[in-house]
Structure 1
Amino acid sequence: MTPPSDVETVVADAHRREWALVLAATARVARDLDLAEECVQEAYAAALASWARDGIPNRPAAWLTTAAKHRAMDAVRRERTFRSKLPLLVEPEETEVEEPDDERAAVDPEHLALEDVVPDDRLRLIFMCCHPALAQEAQLALTLRLVCGVAVTDIARALLVSEPTMAARMTRAKKKISAARIPFRLPGASELPDRLRAVLGVIHLLFTAGHTAPSGASLVRTDLVDESLRLARTLGELMPDEREVRGLLALLLVTDARRATRVDTDGRLLRLENQDRSRWDRSAMAEAHDLIVEGLRGGRPGRYVLQAAIASLYAEAPSYDRTDWPQIVTLYDELLSVWPSPVVALNRTVAVSMASGPAQALAEVAELEKDGRLAKYQYLPAIKADLLRRLGRPEESSIAYRQALELTGNDAEREFLAERLAHPHRA
């Protein structure tokens, strides 16, 4: 008998590392995401008992995949048997039967060669889930949940909606996949460019969820940050001529270059102006700089190139006070023209406060409050609170800090906001 603690550790590690691959293999059998998820969950639950009794297998992922696929095949057989016994009550659906992936590969060289086109398992899965028949937000949410293992709560925070709303949207997306017979299969090489925008969005949101974890004790989830960087590099090797791919990699590199300095030795959040710039990763910043220069050549830059350029200006300044704030505001204006996001508009107010003063920035924050799309976004009241503090309005600043605290789930950020609230006059 294997000690239960050892089994639990291995199962937890397999869940973190192999969930997406097991789910993808099961979904190809089940042809239904809800059923596939259910079968995979049952396989992991069965592993706890089976491995404790029989020992941990040499290839846990293979064991889990086989167990989940067998459950899916049994469920499909039961459904077929049920329907065959009710021919008068259930109208047969006249739909074209989707060929299994291996049969399709035999007649479609494009699909046969896709593993050579996208050699990374997880990246292939991301392209597979970003089906253009789904709304982009549904693509992002499903892929982050199913492929990357991000919690529904954290996805909801990243996409600025409530958890029940996000859960309902994901359920509707799964139902659409089932009702519309959207095939859960690898796309052909010619389909990749049409899915690139969504794939970039997934990798960026994955990085964001790791760079500042939406919940939990640690500010950074290094596993998500490292995986998003790996995916961005792999995508860059796959599509070296895509400027936005280079832009995304540059954005991730220059943003993550500050990782070691974002908290102090006690885990407390450090603002950008208080971070030790001598400890920033200069090699990552240099690589990002070269990618940004390439991305700015040859036509109007896209959102990721512009975001990377903004982050690079912050990083390359000799000190916070000597940052080129007017240039950053100009870049934000260009970014808003290609990506009119309220989050971008809010981030722009920080640069405006340094270039033109906190009063002008506060007026722009007030307009964003009226807009309403950032009502559940913790950084709006946090930025507002800081602007009010700088304007010498501590009572109003305290109210805004309390609002930010109510919306914030990360412990390091909550501690920082509580400290600000307790000492409203501290710089």
Structure 2
Amino acid sequence: MAAGAPRIFVSHLQGVAVFDPAGDQVGRVRDLVVMLRVGQRPPRLLGLVVELATRRRIFLPMTRVTAIQSGQIITTGVLNVRRFEQRPTERLVFGELLDRRVTLTETGEEVTVLDLSVHQLPARREWEIDRVFVRKGRKGSAFRRAKGEALTVEWTAVTGFSLEEQGQGAENLLATFEQLRPADLANVLHHLSPKRRAEVAAALDDDRLADVLEELPEDDQIEILGKLKEERAADVLEAMDPDDAADLLGELPTDDQERLLSLMQPGDAADMRRLMSYEDRTAGGLMTTEPIVLRPDATVADALARVRNRDLSPALAAQVYVCRPPDDTPTGKYLGTVHFQRLLREPPPSLVSSILDSDLQPLDPEADLPAIAGFFATYDMVAAPVVDEAGALLGAVTVDDVLDHMLPEDWRETEFHLDEEVATDGS
């Protein structure tokens, strides 16, 4: 659903069909999953509980929802069919929030929740509950709803939903640190006790935990992954950037690697195995297998639409790679690169094949770290294509991964230690 779209009342989503991009129905919505926050801040809508034709209920993150329109929901087509399990920080809208008794802040009057509305935040991929449809008067019985005035109020106009400020549960801690960037939340986790760290990691959703794991020191990554159920550990690895996930897998015993790989989607597992086949400090070992790849007949408008993807890092969004089919890495013949600034200067109908930078030599997968760093410094690049001997694009190396491997191995621990010292000195 595009930013700025009208709000949707959750009662209209009950039983709505969910379709993949090809138009095939994959299931129906049975509930919505939200995370409450401390105080009066509106809850985040994390995703949907979707019932498949097999009666299995799975979790569909809102990041995988591309449209809600005309009584149907369209997804990216990538579904994790692991059975839905509710986490301590999560609440089910239909199962736990509707028909609940809450209090109007202004008058102190108790009311019954009949419905909730959700909307997508402008220029962000997050969704929130913003309004509550309530009825005044006594709560009705199971067979007859009590009569009384019905009205729609802002989420902040009622109490009785949100988490209490006090308490040391994982959900309160998560609500407190929800707005932190992944690197800052990683800093918080690093300084928690192992028991507390495991509690918070277990309560984070897969995408958030994946982002945080990428920012943690290696020992913390292994510790946290080892305390997750194997199926969930595989899901979190799939949600990580492929190069970071491959690095983490590479630190595990061979038997553990194979068990986790067997639980992953075949395509993701194949990417992991391919990345793990390269030496750590080579272009093949540093690259991500998910750059933006377009065919030569794609337009500038197509390229800009792909660049706008909020899930892309700034480095990966800086350029697109043009290749002959297939589009997935390893691709067909690599033809060249189109830089983001060039895309901004060209008419939207222009073909990307007409504005290629074909003079820039790609990296060999066996190129070592000094050669990669020299390439970035020489050409002022933030990302570079990696191409094999047959001319197929294997992936792209980004400048953040180069820096990560050029810094001392313990740079994350040193950074966290310095942060702690600064906080102590300032207290």
TM-score by length of 2: 0.34
Higher relative contact order (CA 8 A, sep 6+): 1
TM-score by length of 1: 0.34
**Structure with higher strand content:** 2
**Structure with higher helix content:** 1
